[in-house]
Each structure stands twice: as structure tokens, then as C-alpha cells.
Amino acid sequence: MLSRRGFIAGLGALAAPAAGWASAGDPVALSGAKLSDGSFALVGLRLDGGLAFSAPLPARGHAGAAHPAVAEAVVVARRPGRFAMVVDCARGAVRQELTAPQGRHFYGHAAFSEDGSLLLTPENEYATGAGRIGIWDRRLGYRRIDEVSSGGIGPHEIIRLKGDTFTVANGGIRTHPKTGRERLNLDDMEPNLTILDATGSIAHQVPSNAARNSVRHIAADEGGRVVVGCQWQGDPFDAPALVAIYAAGRLTDLDMDPGHARGLAAYIGSVCAHGQGAAVSAPRGGRVEVLGPDGGLVVSARARDICGLCSVAGRTIATDGLGRVYRLEDGGLSRLAKHPVAFDNHLIAL
Amino acid sequence: MRLAFVFALIATPALADVNRALDAHILPGHAHLVETTSALAAAAEDDCAPETLQAPFGSAYDAWLGVSHIQFGPIEDRGLSLAMAFWPDPKDSTGKALGRLTEAEDPIVDDADAFGEVSAAAQGFTALERLLYEEQANPDYACRLTVAIARGLASMSDELSTDWQAHAELMRGAGGIERYQSETEAQRALFTALLTGLEFLHDQRLGRPLGTFDRPRPLRAEARRSERSQRHVELSLAALEELALAMAEGLPATEAAFAEAKERAAALDDPALEGVADPALRFKVEVLQQSVRAVQVAVIEEIGTPLGIQAGFNSLDGD
């Protein structure tokens, strides 16, 4: 994407030098949170589970993206929200608000380009249902400069892989803000995982293992393996595998024993790579699990309202709606800290 | 306002009595399960004829309904949930698993230890119900299978009950131990079992056969072959009420909501819940389902809120 817009590249030099993440208390991950007084914030978490910073937000954010170098994050509104907030994490304040273009809404997720100059946001062009990826230029004060196809309906999470290739989880579910989160095409879903190359063109696509298995959340490891977590839009007692790994152009299910998906309420909230396998959270099932590379269950732990999950510095960290921060290991779940907040759905690893 | 706050602080320790829930509900419930499944196994060994086993099967299944909502602890650690009862079963895994064993006349049924390794769908109450209430093409093999399942149920029940003795001590001594780091965690585990049990009753036991108005699904009713569907609704309400009232005292809204739901369940007069497909009778099941919802609301308010358990910030919002 950078090459296609090389003409703007020179502008980067004009940006004022800004403080790095050390200035925000050295967080290893970020999370949206609801505070005990009912207000919302973006918080930074340290590796020991302590809070690095807390920046008040005017409204509830879902997830977003952390800038690779500067202590700045973009928190995106929950679906079908149309705003996103640029947060100065060193000062602990919102610096700017972004609004989705007319006829679009966000999906709560975003990703930065490798050098942090571009922000990519999955969006719904709701008149047609087409999934779009909005492109915003940070060097121009987050001006919207372009957009590309997401490769499907309902683009949910986007993550950056090596260089400036990106993976998009197209959940396949069509919605319209008029009807909130109502699913309008349950009998006609085509969820897929789409790889966008550095020019924003679709390089590769793989369908989900079943039409009603909505691919939703994705996370990559350093080797480029992508863990995929799904939300089954059918009878929870009849769910296919909910977790898959994308590697070398193939999407491979992590097999689950019969009954396994039941305990997860057929709904994966967050995923991250964990060793050669995957860690997954199931907020509705109240569980977090480690799955081996072939899908064998390594550990399953109960934790009410658990959802946030990320892999940082070789560790897997989890958060829940009761303010707890955990470390997840093959041997189980251990609590690192408890804060008087409700952590929102996702952890953004730095 | 301040007075109310102080009152809440004083009231909290009286709530969610872990000892009483263990001593008046979980432990006796499992002991009863052991008694009835042992009697079932003994009866099967004596005579495997379906008509003679239906009564001890009914008593054991009743006992299971008394504890089937306790899905944490031993049953989870041993992974026995589905082996005790495989339902819901939209893919008919039970029919298929029994069919495979029967077709091969698999001698595994004669080896008690090995039988524990067959598909969970062929092991528990749901499998035994088929054998006792459906015509069997191969009665000799069905007899061996019946004995194997009955023995397996008795032995699994025994394991659960034995493990619960130790697990109860973990919950009583909560604090400092990794599993239950505080008394609140033990209380929360009980409350989660209560709430999940109510949800299962609402969404599965009632929700599955109800389906939609245009497409009711009477064949999805639990234990319809033995015409125990309505009975399961009544027994599960009774068991969940017993747990709720053991956990806390002075729960007027909860008691009233349970009373109404139990009354509606008893008045159904529809053993296999076939009425869901009859527009004139369907509403009775729908109203019952709503009254189960009212119980959920009441227990959240009267037991969950004082425990500091709010509706899930994440589990409710999703995305």
C-alpha cells in the first residue's frame, strides 16, 4: 500500500517527533475498559498485570490499533459505531476523533501499516453490504485517503502480517444500522479469510469451514501463522471446529472433540498464538483454553466473562469483565492482578 | 443511601452459604444418584427386560436430574458430562453410536473398563432410554448393552460422589487454595451452576421443542421416548430451587418466581411436550418458558447482585 501512495511518503518528515511507548508507562498491551463510575477509558497493561496508564474516552471503544513506535492508539467504536478515537497515551487524552464516511460504519477493529503512517479500518458499506477497508493517513492528520475491498461481507478484524500484507476476517454476516446487529443473511453467508498484499489488492482468499461459521478474530505469530476464531451462527450443539490455523496458504481446523464446542457456547471471543498452538477465549462459555497444534486440548480453565487475550514477550495474557488480568500457561490460568474496571472484549498487543 | 449500603455489607456474609449448598444439595444429591444407579445396575444384571427396568431407570434418571446442573468440579475434571447424558443431540450421535455397536455386536459391552471408552453418546441415560423404550432388532445384544450402560452409570456416579467428598472440602476451605482463591469464588461457582441450569432449562429443555411458531420441533424434546420431558422440566425446577434456597435465605422474589414456574410446569399435562406443535396448547409452554426467565431475573437480583456478579460485560455484548 505504501508503494501505491509513495507520493505522500515525503510528508512523514514533517511530523513532529512524538514520545515512544516508554512515555506511557511501558505497557505491553492495551484494552478498552469501563471504570467503576460508569465512564470509559483506554488502559495500558504492564507485563505484571499492573496498569501503565488510563486515558478517559468519551464513549465505549471495542478494540483498535496501537502505533508501532509512538505512544498513540486508535480505539474504534463498537459495531455499528461510526467514530474512532485517536488517543495520546503519554498524555492520557483523546487527541482527535475520526468519523466513518457517509453510509459506512466501523467494526471495532483497525490496524496500522508497518511504519505507522497508515491506519486501516474494516467498514460496512451498508447500502450494498460490501466490506471495505478504509485507509487513513496519519501524517495528514488521519485524513482519509483511499479504500479497498475487504474481499467479503462483514469484515471484522484486520491484522498486519509481514511487511505491509494484511489479513482480514470477513465474518460473512450482513447487517444494517437500521436493524442494529440483526443478521440479515443467515442462509446465505460466505465467511472467508482474505489476504491483502502491500498494494491493497486481494492476494489470496480461503473460505471458512462452514457457511454459518463466521470467522471473526485473528492473531498472527512471528512466523506468520494466523490463528482464526469463529462464531457459529447455528445450533450450538451442532457446531463445527471453531478454531483454525492459516499457514502456507491453507486454513486447517483444530479438531474439537464432540461436546467441546458446547462448553465454548460455540462462540470464540478472542484468539492468540500460544507456542505452536493457540489460546482462545469463550466469554459466553466462561472459559479460556490452550489448544495444541493439532487441536488437542492442553488446558481449559473457567473464568467468568473472560475475553481479552494476547501474546506478548512469549507470554499469554488474558483479561475479563471483572477487572482481572491473568497469565495463561499450559498448566492453567493464574491471576496477575485485579483492577476496579471491566476490561472490554480485546487486548491489543504492542 | 448510606444506611442501605451498610445494610448490604452486613447482609452479604449471610448470603450464598457454601456449606449449606454442599450439605443439603450437592452431597445428598450425588449420594442419591449412587443409590439409584446401583439399584438400576443390580436390576439389569438380574433381568435386562425393558419392562422390568423402566421403573429403576426412572428413579435413577430422576436422581440425575437432581444434580445434572452441577457441571463444575468432579464431572468436569473427569469429563463425564456427556457420558452421563448426551443431550441435546441434533446429529443423533446416540442412535449412530448404538447402531454401530449393535451392527458389529461389539463384545466391548462385556468389558466394564473398556466400555468407558466407547462414544459418550452410547454410555448414559439417553442411550439407555433408547434401549428400554424403542423396539430392538437384536434383543440379545440390546440386553448386553443395557447391562453395560447400567453398570457404567453406577460406576460413574460412584466416582462423582466419591470425588465430591474431597471437592466439597476444597470449597469449604476456600481461600489460599488455587482452585477457590476466596469464599466468593466458591459462591460464584455455585451461582454459575444455578444460572447455567436455568439457562439450559429455558433455552434447551423448553426452547428446543418450542422451536419457532412456524416450525415447532416436538421431536427435539428431551426424553420424549420415555415421555419424561415434562417431568424433566419439573425436576430441574425443583433441583434448581433447592440449590437457590440452600445458597441464601430471604429470597422473596426468587421463591415467588419458582412457585409460579413450578405451578405452570405441573399444569402442562403434556408428558412428551407434544403440545408445542398445537397452537392451542403451545402457549402454555411459552408462558412456562417466560416464567423460567422470571426466575433467572430474580436469582440474578437476589443472589447474583449481592455477590457482586453483574451481567457479563463481554459475554452479553459480544462481537
CATH number, residue B202: 1.20.120
Domain annotation covers residue B32: yes
Phi, psi for A242 (deg, rounded to 5): -100, -5
Q: Using an 8 Å Cβ cutoff, are B242 and B218 in contact? A: no
CB contact under 8 A, A321 and B89: no
Q: Tell me how long chain A is.
A: 350
Same domain? For B262 and B203 the reply is: yes
- A289 to chain B, any CB pair closer than 8 A? The answer is no
Amino acid making up residue A164 = D
Question: What distance in Å separates the CA atoms of residue A239 and residue A196, rounded to the nearest whole number?
Answer: 29
CA distance B220 to chain A (A): 12
- Cell for A220? 498472527
At which residue does the C-alpha cell 444418584 appear?
B33
The ranges of chain B with pLDDT < 70 are 1-16, 174-178, 311
Chain B residues in contact with A62 by the CB 8 A cut-off are: 319
* Residue B316 domain-assigned (yes or no): no
B160-180 pLDDT per residue, tens: 999 999 999 999 986 655 677
Å from A74 to nearest chain B CA?
18
β-bridge mates for residue A121, sequence order: A134
Judgement on whether residues B28 and B161 belong to the same structural domain of the protein? yes
**CA-to-CA distance for A350 and A27, rounded, in angstroms?**
8
Asked if residue B8 is part of any domain, the answer here is no
Residue B215 touches chain A, beta carbons under 8 Å: no
Residue A247: partners with Cβ closer than 8 Å, 6 or more residues away: A224, A225, A226
CA distance A15 to B238: 68
- Is A259's Cβ below 8 Å from some Cβ in B? yes
Q: Is residue B262 part of a domain?
A: yes
Contacts of A277 (CB under 8 A, 6+ apart): A254, A290, A291, A292, A293, A298
Residue pLDDT, tens place only, B288-298: 999 999 999 99
Say which residue the cell 459505531 belongs to: A81
CB contact under 8 A, A269 and B314: yes
> CA–CA separation, A40 vs A344, rounded Å?
10
Q: Which letter does DSSP use for residue A111 in this model?
A: E
| C-beta atoms surrounding A184 within 10 Å | 12
Q: Is A31 in the B-facing interface, judged by CB distances under 8 Å?
A: no
- Quickly count: other Cβ atoms within 10 Å of residue B47's Cβ: 10
Cα A112 from Cα B39, distance rounded (Å): 66
Contacts B120 to A, Cβ<8 Å: 258-259
Helix axes B139-172, B27-46, angle to 10 degrees: 160
Contact residues for B214 (Cβ-Cβ < 8 A; gap 6+): none
**A59 touches B: beta carbon within 8 Å:** no
> Is residue B144 located within the same domain as residue B45?
yes
Query: Same domain for B143 and B209?
Result: no
Per-residue pLDDT at B275: 96
Q: Is A306 on the interface with B (CB under 8 A)?
A: yes
pLDDT of A17: 54
- Report long-range pairs for B53-59 (Cβ below 8 Å, ≥24 apart): B53/B132, B53/B146, B53/B150, B54/B132, B54/B133, B54/B226, B57/B125, B57/B128, B57/B129, B57/B132, B57/B226, B58/B226, B58/B228
Interchain contact, B314 vs A79, CB within 8 Å: no
Spell out, as residue ranges, where chain A has pLDDT lower than 70: 1-17, 258
Is there a single domain that holds both residue B196 and residue B155?
A: no
Distance CA B9, CA A111 (A): 45
The answer, for B225 touching chain A at a CB cutoff of 8 Å, is no
Contact A237 B88 (CB under 8 A): yes
Domains: count for chain B: 2
Whether the CB-CB separation of B148 and B124 falls below 8 Å is answered with: no
Residue B1 is assigned to a structural domain of this protein: no
Please state, in angstroms and rounded to a whole number, the distance separating the CA atoms of residues A119 and A133. Answer: 10
- B74 assigned to some structural domain: yes
Compute the nearest-CA separation of A10 from chain B (Å): 38
CA-nearest of A149, A156, A150 to A171 is A156
What b/e readout covers B165-177, taking b as 16+ CB neighbours within 10 angstroms? eebbeebeebeee
Task: Give A-chain residues touching B309 at CB under 8 angstroms.
Answer: 304
B305 touches chain A (CB under 8 A): no
Query: Given strand A72-77, what is the order of strands in its sheet?
Result: A61-66, A72-77, A83-88, A93-99
Backbone region of residue B282 per phi and psi (left: phi > 0; alpha: psi in -120 to 50; beta: other values) = alpha
β-bridge mates for residue A280, sequence order:
A271, A289
Is A284's Cβ below 8 Å from some Cβ in B?
yes
CB contact under 8 A, B314 and A34: no
When CB atoms are compared, the residue of B82, B192, B319 closest to A286 is B192
Fold of A3-349: Methylamine Dehydrogenase; Chain H (2.130.10)
- The C-alpha cell of B39 is what? 439399584
> pTM of this prediction?
0.85
Same domain, B136 and B219: no
Q: Which of B128, B147, B172 is the last residue of a domain?
A: B172
8 Å CB contact between A239 and A231:
no
Q: B37: domain range?
A: 21-172
On chain B, the residues whose CB falls within 8 A of the CB of A321 are: 310, 312-315
CA angle A103, A106, A109 (to 5 degrees): 165
Q: Are B295 and B258 in contact (CB under 8 A)?
A: yes
Give how far Cα B85 sits from Cα of A121, A153, B77, Å: 46, 39, 16
Contact B90 A306 (CB under 8 A): no
DSSP labels, A221-284 = -TTS-EEEEEEE-S-GGG----EEEEETTEEEE----TTHHHHTTTB--EEEEETTEEEEEETT
| Closest chain B residue by Cα to residue A270 | B319
Interface touch A345/B319, C-beta < 8 Å: yes
- Beta pairing class for A104-106 and A118-125: antiparallel
Our CA-based measurement puts residue A305 at a distance from the nearest CA of chain B, in whole angstroms, of 5
Which of these three, B172, B204, B227, is where a domain ends? B172
Interatomic CA distance for residues A348 and A32, integer angstroms: 9
Give the Cα separation of A321 and B66 in Å (integer): 31
B165 and B27 belong to one structural domain: yes
| Whether B319 and A321 lie within 8 Å, measured CB to CB | no
Name the residue in chain A with its Cα closest to that of B80.
A259
The number of beta carbons lying within 10 Å of the beta carbon of residue A235 is 14
Residue where a domain terminates, one of B141, B172, B203: B172
For residue A137, give Cα distances in angstroms to A60, B23, B207: 24, 64, 50
- Contact of A311 with A272, CB cutoff 8 Å: yes
Comparing C-alpha atoms, which of A182, A165, A164 is closest to residue A173? A182
CA-nearest residue to B71 within chain A is A263
Residue with cell 511530523: A15
Residues of chain A contacting residue B82, judged by C-beta atoms under 8 Å apart = 258-259
- Rounded to the nearest 10 degrees, how much is the dihedral formed by the CA atoms of B299, B302, B303, B305? 110
**Mutate: best of A262, A322, A343, partner B, most B CBs <10 A:** A322
Contact residues for A197 (Cβ-Cβ < 8 A; gap 6+): A165, A203
Contact A196, A151 (CB under 8 A): yes
Together in a domain, B198 and B149: no
Residues B58 and B132 both lie in one domain: yes
B91 lies within 8 A of chain A by CB: yes
Backbone φ and ψ for A35, nearest 5 degrees, come out as: -85, 170
Q: Determine contact: B176 vs chain A, CB below 8 A.
A: no
Q: How far apart are CA B153 and CA B80, in angstroms?
A: 10
Burial of residue A293 (CB within 10 Å: 0-12, 13-18, 19+) is middle
Output the furthest CA–CA distance in chain A (Å, rounded).
58
| B51 plus B165 within the same structural domain | yes
Query: Which residues of chain A are within 8 Å of residue B126 when distances are taken between CB atoms?
Result: none
In a domain, B315, yes or no: no
Assess contact for A150 and A194: CB atoms under 8 A: yes
Cβ contacts of A199 within 8 Å, gap of 6 or more:
A1, A3, A4
**Chains A, B: CB contacts under 8 A, how many?**
71
CA–CA separation, B198 and B203 (whole Å): 8
- Asked if the Cβ–Cβ distance from A345 to B317 is below 8 Å, we say yes
Does residue B27 fall inside a structural domain?
A: yes
Chain A contact for B315 (CB, 8 A cutoff): yes
* 3-state DSSP assignment of residue A145: strand
